[in-house]
Amino acid sequence: MSSSRLLGRLGCTHPILLAPMDLVAGGRLTAAVSGAGGFGILGGGYGRDEAWLLRELDLAGDPATYGVGFITWSMARKPRILDIMLERRPAALMLSFGDPAPHAARAHRAGITVICQVQTVAMAREAVAKGADIIVAQGAEGGGHGVSCATLPLVPAVVDAIGHKVPVVAAGGIADGRGVAAVMMLGAEGAVLGTRFYASEEAIGHPEAKRRIVTAGGDGTVRGILFDIARNNVWPAPFTGRVLQNAFSQKWLGRERELLQHIGEDAARDAGDFDTAPVIAGECAGLIDDIQPAAKIVQRIVREVAEAFARHTGVHIAPAVHRGDGIVEGRVPSFAGLSHQAEDDELEVVGCAK
């Protein structure tokens, strides 16, 4: 139970990664997560908009502290977007949903770590064979696109298959420290959080979308291709998307053929009409009840992980002593990166204990 391979590879303090959410994880959110000791991954998404990517990269801070993620099958149609990204030399390139091979090789030549998000054991084996340095095992309860296997059975199966070669990080359904602690028990070295960081102050996104995440319950999402049909953006098999249920999904679920006529989702989203446009979010929406600055979310999760371990396993991950020169000393077990010290009522995150 150690995050040290992952932290060493990414150069961050805490094993908490921002999901590269299209249109949500912009430069400000990326910088905020990395600034708090996590690892921000900017959402390059479909890779269609060079101007957007350049602007957000400028906001993301020191490239050595963050990664950039793309939807691989889409980015592959826009090779120039990868050139722009590689020129910036970020710490990592995250590739999800498609063949990583040619892009991984280019990233490696530029000295960039390659993270691949996968949804099955077979995909994990293939991604490692094609150059992945880190595997994100994404369960179907997660927000956005994915496949069908849930996080709880997927993560240990992926760890068994390839965990001896590269670090495995879990994604899908993780919104607090209990979730991070749980996936570390399954052998993951860290967690990727999407929906939780969507409900942050720095996330790009309409306030109404964030409000809906905060008020949604865990049973308030639906996985399918309804919304991809509506925006004329149907993905290759086997990928489907998870979004919050709304009036649109209630009206059209099961009537996908008719829906092929429907257009206008972008206008609805810009107008804040989330009865029509989807809020892309996962089942962990049921665990989210506030919109916080991203740094506070990272700090709270770090504290909760320590509390969860202490309460349920008797393993104490604190206190560590901050020497004031960036070095942390303490009786911290091999749970690298989760050290903190008490200050007044709050626990302050002080750094990485190894």
Ligand X SMILES: Cc1cc2nc3c(=O)[nH]c(=O)nc-3n(C[C@H](O)[C@H](O)[C@H](O)COP(=O)(O)O)c2cc1C
Burial (CB count <10 Å: 0-12, 13-18, 19+), residue 261: exposed
108 is an active site residue: no
Helix (H, G, I), strand (E, B) or coil at 254: coil
Q: What does the block give as tokens for 120?
A: 């099955």
Q: Residue 285 carries which side chain, given as an amino acid letter?
A: A
Q: Residue 269 or residue 340: which is nearer to ligand X going by CB? A: 269
Angle between helices 121-129 and 151-162 in degrees, nearest 10? 40
User: Is residue 339 part of the contact set for ligand X (CB under 6 A)?
Assistant: no
121-150 residues near ligand X, rule: CB under 6 A: 138, 142-144
User: Is the CB of residue 289 less than 8 Å from the CB of residue 211?
Assistant: no
Q: What does the block give as tokens for 228?
A: 């991809």
CA–CA dist 59, 272 (Å, integer): 25
Candidates 20, 38, 177, 190; binder of ligand X (CB under 6 A) is: 20
Q: Residue 59 or residue 315: which is nearer to ligand X going by CB? A: 59
Q: Residue 41 or residue 332: which is nearer to ligand X going by CB? A: 41
Residue of this chain nearest to ligand X (CB atom): 194
CA–CA dist 109, 250 (Å, integer): 48
172-201 residues near ligand X, rule: CB under 6 A: 172-174, 192-196, 198
Binding mask 59-88 for ligand X (x = CB under 6 A): ----------x-x-----------------
Q: What does the block give as tokens for 226?
A: 């309804």
Candidates 22, 56, 176, 265; binder of ligand X (CB under 6 A) is: 22
CA-based nearest residue to 128, from 139, 116, 137: 116
Beta carbon of residue 62, minimum distance to ligand X (angstroms, whole number): 22
The residues that bridge with 200 in the sheet, in sequence order, are 292
Candidates 13, 117, 120, 249; binder of ligand X (CB under 6 A) is: 117
Catalytic residues: 145
Provide the binding-site residues for ligand X, judged by CB under 6 A.
19-22, 24, 43, 45, 69, 71, 96, 117, 138, 142-144, 171-174, 192-196, 198, 280-282, 284
